[in-house]
Structure 1
Amino acid sequence: MIHWSKQYNHFVQAAFLSVMLFSCDVTKPYANNQVVPDGLYGDAVTDSNNNMATLSWKEIFKDPLLQELITEGISNNLDLKTAAANLKAAEANFVQSKQAFLPSLSGNASAGAYDPASAQASASQVYQLYALSSWQVDVWGKLRSTKRSMYAAYLGSEAYRQAVQTQLVANIAATYYQLLAYDEQLNIVQQSLEVYSKDTETMKILKNSNVVTGAAVVQSAANYYAVKSTVPDIKNNIRQAENTLCLLLGRAPGSIKRDSLFSEQVYSELSIGVPAQLLANRPDVKEAELQLRSNFEQVNVARTAFYPALTITGQSGLYATQLKSFFNAGAFFANIVGGLTQPIFNNGLNKQKLKVAQANYEASEYNYRKVLLTAGQEVSNALYQYQMVDEKAISRKEQIANLEKAVYFTKELLKYTSATNYTDVLTSEQSLLSARQNAVTDKLQQLQALVNLYAALGGGWK
């Protein structure tokens, strides 16, 4: 037979009436009211139709060897693998939050003897098989808010993985270009050493001809060794850059296949879009906004703790005192019971939990604003740096051309006239070496500005 709670119908009516009256006011819908200012990039010219962040990194970095390194890094980088593992955990938490909407179900089967306390009654056998189900009704939106919070956290983990990849691509490209710059510096120094070695021999010949003194010879030799002493430092920088790249690629230290610095093609079609596109393109901005959303839903969850929880419990199965009648119709039983659980002594604790949730939401709101401002600053800095380096390259080219002439003229004058001396030769050569090294730095800054701008706009994860 079926046993129903006598007040069940009244309870259901009261529960649904409570839902109609109060549930809509407990939780609030999320809305991101944060406005991305149009002037976030400063005085940079913006265009909503073009944004280089939407391009694949293969379209930005044309060097085939660099493309191979980036591909390897995306496959093997340990930080990226860790982020992917964290994403799986966040996905599992989200799936778990959805399952909270489903009723729990358990079963039990037992058989035993019942020995009554009365000495006159005889012992009897008891056989029972039943299923028990419990369902928490989401009256106040607690489960819905928890699910939305977990979903935002899941999306935030995906955004974090994208942010890690964006930074990884930028780090591989920047370190690769730095390595090429070290190679070029070493090449310039080695070329200079050949020149300085010949200069020393020339000074010896001129000394024998009484054109210069012994001071010119030793000064020329000192200049040679001063430049030569920089070689170990440059080689050490090369080794460290190679090892840094290997770590980014998830492999043991070793050599790196690479091209030369001045053979690198610089992507010149710079387009930064508009600041409002940062939320869609830049993963860390997206992650900060999703954290804001998750914390907002946690405030909703904290609010529901002040209201009673509605739980419906059902039980059905078979009960008999004789095994032969276990499957008879009379052995079947079922009941449904609803209950409201209202916290009595936890009100103070719930208030503090609500304050914590609200404080976390407020902190995430400030963090979102900061991340957005930082993104705007990085875009502005990288774009301006690229423009200034491009402008500087023109002057640097003229400087080197004139210094090459100065070196040639001073050497010729030293050989055939007394209008100059060895100091002028050494000074002009040192100036030329410095200018060539600065040209390497200029090229590196241009490439790194491109890397920084692409990453600042959110490129690299698509």
Structure 2
Amino acid sequence: MNSYKSLTFVLLGGLLFAGCKITRKYERPVLSASLTDSLYRAPATTDTSSLADMPWQQLFTDPKLQQLIGLGLANNLDLKVALERINEAQALLEQSRQAFMPSLNFSPNVTLSRTSRAALNLPPNININLKTTTFQVGVTTNWEADIWGKLSSAKRASMASLMQTEAARKALQTQVVATIANAYYGLLALDQQLAVTQATIEVRRKNVFTMQKLKESAIVTGAAVVQSEGNLYAAEVSVPDLKQGIRELENALNVVLGRHPQPIERNTLEEQSANVDLKTGVPLQLLQKRPDVAAAELTYRAAFENVNVARTYFYPSLAITAGSGGFSALATNSIFTNSLFYSLAAGLTQPILAKGANKARLKTTEAQREMALQNFYKSILVAGQEVSDALFAYEMGVEKEATRKKQIDALEKAVNYTEQLLRYSSATNYTDVLTSEQALLAAQLAGISDKRQQLLAIVELYRALGGGK
């Protein structure tokens, strides 16, 4: 008898040792030096200070923009959906934890039965009770031993999925902050473009009146008058497009804020400052600061653990089952008296004919793991691209702003000179004035876009570095 016990312990010990070899411990994906040292096109630095460390309330100092961002973070519908995904992942994690515990089912029942006298073939003088009522209180339980680490791997996969949903929520939050800021700056730019256009319309109306007076004085011809009128109408016809753009952008922003369409309270573009210290930190920090990169790694980790689970299906499972147990009696007052019954079983289940399905399951999870790994590497490359693009966009916006100011100054002088020449000299005509005015308006509108480009580049860099959480 002792030899059987020893053999049993040896077999169980061997199974447990083999289980340690079936599942593998998770290791972070290896990153090449190009990813960790030169991920984005910027001067090499060892300074770990990053724009992403700044709270969004400090980066966006406009009180009305702060109010809109706070409203969006509280009411955005996509963020609410992301929160429910976290609740779902938490429930799945709890479910995987409960898999370690034995199941327990309680099943009380009452059975009414009547036996046929003819079926029993009893003599006529035998009188027995053909109707019986049986009361039973049953309990069943089942417990699976986690020999190969299947339950542990499933729990780790659920934990990674939970962390992935939380990282995805943070990534969505950074996107919501950036979207609100971008829309706000877009509205300010459209407001200023509308103001410049309306001011230009007033100037051109005066020009029409001036051309009419000059025609009466025989200084210009009727062609100059109609040209000035056409120039006026060209400015006026752009106003509805600007107003439509403002209304549509307001409506789109209201959707992000989780409310019905309504006017957006805002300040002016001139009040916004683009003077920000654009510190990017070191590329490796993106792995911790970018929530979408963290989410991609956690997706890979969950897929890694799913491969571990798939491997365990090739090996037998050990389950201990109390198939039925409890008390059974014909009367309720004697249900706990001499009425105990039970059965207990333990066994190993080894897959034989299911190996084809198990192989397919393993190949599927391995393919999913490799896809998740490549998506993780891609998320890092995309992060580097976005940082590089934002940095360069800001630099080019600053460069254009300096040149644009010189262009506008030159065109303002050109308009003034051609208007003076038109009045007091025959060496020019209204076509020269028209060309100068149109070029000036285009340059003024482009100057507004240059300022907006700088602001949007700061927002995009802040998001690309992982700020706004």
- TM exceeds 0.5? yes
How far is 1:227 from its partner? 1.2
Matched, 1:248 2:244: no
Contact preservation (8 Å) 1:299, 1:354: yes
Aligned equivalent of 1:23: 19
Which secondary structure state, in structure 1, belongs to the residue aligned with residue 274 of structure 2?
A: coil
**Matching residue of 1:196:** 204
State how 1:11-410 maps to structure 2 within 5 Å. Answer: 13=9, 16-35=12-31, 36-110=35-109, 128-314=136-322, 317-318=326-327, 326-327=335-336, 332=340, 336-410=344-418
Q: Is the 8 A contact 1:8 1:338 kept in 2?
A: no
Give the aligned residue type for 2:81.
T
CA 1:311/1:9 → structure 2, altered by over 3 Å: closer, same or farther?
farther
Q: CA deviation at 1:20?
A: 3.4
CA contact (8 A) 1:41 1:379 kept: yes
What is the Cα deviation at residue 409 of structure 1? 2.2
Amino acid at match of 2:61: K
Contact 1:11/1:338 (CA < 8 Å) preserved in 2? no
| Equivalent residues of 1:267, 1:450 under 8 A apart | no
In 1, are the aligned partners of 2:201 and 2:235 still within 8 Å (CA)? yes
Amino acid at match of 2:237: S
Please, which moves more after superposition, 94-103 or 14-23? 14-23
- C-alpha separation in 1, matches of 2:93 and 2:51: 33
Gaps of 5+ in 2: none
CA-to-aligned-CA distance 1:226-247 (integer Å, 9 cap, x gap): 1111111111111111111111
Cα shift at 1:309: 0.6
- Greater displacement, 47-56 / 83-92: 47-56
Q: Deviation of residue 8 (structure 1)? A: 9.6
Between the aligned partners of 1:11 and 1:75, the Cα distance in structure 2 is 63
Structure 2 vs 1, CA of residues 339 and 62 (structure 1 numbering), >3 Å: closer, same or farther? same
Amino acid at match of 1:53: A
Displacement of 1:58? 1.2
Task: Call closer, same or farther: CA 1:128–1:234 in 2, change over 3 Å.
Answer: closer
Deviations 1:266-296 (CA, angstroms, capped at 9, x unpaired): 2511111111111211111111111100000
> Measured at CA, do residues 211 and 324 of structure 1 come closer, stay the same or move farther in structure 2, by a change above 3 Å?
closer
Tell me, yes or no, if the aligned pair for 1:157 and 1:287 is still in contact at 8 Å. Answer: yes
Moved more, 85-94 or 135-144: 85-94
- Hey, what's the Cα distance between the residues in 1 that align with 2:21 and 2:427? 94
In 2, the alpha carbon distance for the partners of 1:175 and 1:244 equals 8
Distance 1:326 1:205 in 2: 117
Q: What do residues 124-153 of structure 1 show as CA deviations (whole Å, max 9, x unaligned)?
A: 986654432211110000000101111111
> Per the alignment, in what secondary structure is the counterpart of residue 37 of structure 1?
helix
Q: Within 2, Cα distance between the matches of 1:231 and 1:51?
A: 41
Change (3 A) 1:455 1:411: same
What is the rounded CA distance, in whole Å, between the counterparts of 1:164 and 1:313 in structure 2? 46
1:441: how far off?
0.8
Residue 62 of structure 1 aligns with an amino acid whose one-letter code is T
Deviates more, 1:365-374 or 1:9-18: 9-18
2:277 match: secondary structure: coil
Asked if 1 retains the 8 angstrom alpha-carbon contact of 2:16 and 2:147, the reply is: no
Rounded to whole Å, the distance in 2 between the matches of 1:11 and 1:401 is 96
Quote the offset at 1:332 in angstroms: 4.9
**Comparing 286-295 with 261-270, which one deviates more in the overlay?**
261-270
Query: Would the aligned equivalents of 1:207 and 1:214 in 2 still touch at CA under 8 Å?
Result: yes
Say if 1:436 and 1:332 are closer, same or farther in 2 by CA, change over 3 A.
same
Taking the aligned partners of 1:28 and 1:458, their CA distance within structure 2 comes to 31
Query: For residues 424 and 454 of structure 1, what CA distance do their matches in structure 2 show?
Result: 45
How far residue 201 of structure 1 moved from its aligned partner, in angstroms, is: 1.0
Q: Residues 375-400 of structure 1, C-alpha deviation per residue, up to 9 Å, x if partnerless?
A: 10010000111011112211111221
Percent identity, aligned pairs only, is 45
CA 117–238 in structure 1, closer or farther in 2 if over 3 Å, else same: same
Measured in 2, the distance between the counterparts of 1:219 and 1:324 equals: 111
Q: What amino acid sits opposite 2:186 in the alignment?
A: Q
Q: 1:419 to 1:30 in 2, by over 3 A?
A: same
On the 8 A contact 2:189/2:452 being kept in 1, the answer is yes
Say if 1:188 and 1:437, in contact at 8 Å, map to a contact too: yes
**2:347 aligned counterpart, secondary structure:** strand
Contact 1:24/1:140 (8 A) holds in 2: yes
Distance in 1 between residues matched to 2:37 and 2:5, nearest whole Å: 59
Q: CA deviation at 1:447?
A: 0.9
Count of residues paired in the alignment: 455
User: What is the letter of the counterpart of residue 13 of structure 2?
Assistant: L
Aligned 8 A contact 1:413 1:420 in 2? yes
Is 1:442 aligned to 2:441, yes or no?
Answer: no
Q: Bigger shift: 113-122 or 40-49? A: 113-122
**1:35-80 residue CA offsets vs partner (Å, 9 max, x unmatched):** 1421101234444421111222111111111111111111111111
Distance verdict in 2 for CA 1:251–1:125, change over 3 Å: closer
Partners of 2:208 and 2:156 lie apart in 1 by 76
**CA distance 1:242–1:50, shift in 2 (3 Å):** same
Contact 2:250 2:262 in 1 (8 A): yes
Aligned partner of 1:3 in structure 2 is none
Q: CA deviation at 1:406?
A: 2.0
Contact 1:47 1:272 in 2 (8 A): no
Q: Contact 1:70 / 1:169 at 8 angstroms: preserved in 2? A: yes
Q: Post-superposition shift, 1:7? A: 12
- The alignment's TM-score, normalised by the length of structure 2, stands at 0.90
Provide structure 1 residue ranges, at least 5 long, that are not aligned to the other structure.
Answer: 1-5
Secondary structure of 1:41's counterpart equals coil
- CA–CA distance in structure 2, aligned partners of residues 297 and 185 of structure 1: 55
